[in-house]
Amino acid sequence: MKEYFGFDGYFINQDTSINPEFINNSIFMNYSWNSPDGWNNGDSTNQVYIKKSVEEAKRRGIDPLKTVFSGIEAGMGNFGGTHNSTRNMDVILDPGTGNPLTAIASLGGNFVQHALDENLGDPSKNLRGDDDQQWMIAERERMWY
């Protein structure tokens, strides 16, 4: 199916179990990489989930910086970083160098466009649909990414 439709890969929901042999050439960790119970409940500064995924990628001969994606929830907290996955992004970083151990998947990053009016305090304005206001969205994209 992947080859027929030209997919880059499969999204495997971490809430379900899967035979590791079905993981082909990438690993996506939703938000559980920093949750002590694996269900996105609470915060953790333990790199155990990150390191295990990096080790598995290397064991399979794939580059974890290109194929292991640590998901962060952007849309839920926007620039405020209220979701535990954005609050604790330092868990993804190598403590010695500050470099990321994995790639980062920003989920809900479209908030830079769709939440513009809400963030400015008046959802009824629809500035996000106004051509003259697109510079604000471009600036928000630059700030987020």
Measured in Å, how far apart are the chain's first and last C-alpha atoms? Answer: 32
pLDDT tens by residue, 103-137: 888 877 788 888 888 888 888 888 888 899 899 98
> Residue 36 has what pLDDT?
55
> Residue 132 has what pLDDT?
92
Query: Three-state SS for 136?
Result: helix
| ∠ Cα 40 42 43 (to 5°) | 100
Give me the residues of the chain with pLDDT under 50, please: none
Rounded Cα distance between 143 and 45, Å, is 25
> Residue 110 has what pLDDT?
81
> Residue 89 has what pLDDT?
79
> Residue 135 has what pLDDT?
93
> Residue 114 has what pLDDT?
83
Question: Does the pTM of the predicted model rise above 0.75?
Answer: no
Helix or strand run (H / E) with residue 85:
helix 84-87
> Residue 76 has what pLDDT?
76
> Residue 139 has what pLDDT?
92
> Residue 99 has what pLDDT?
92
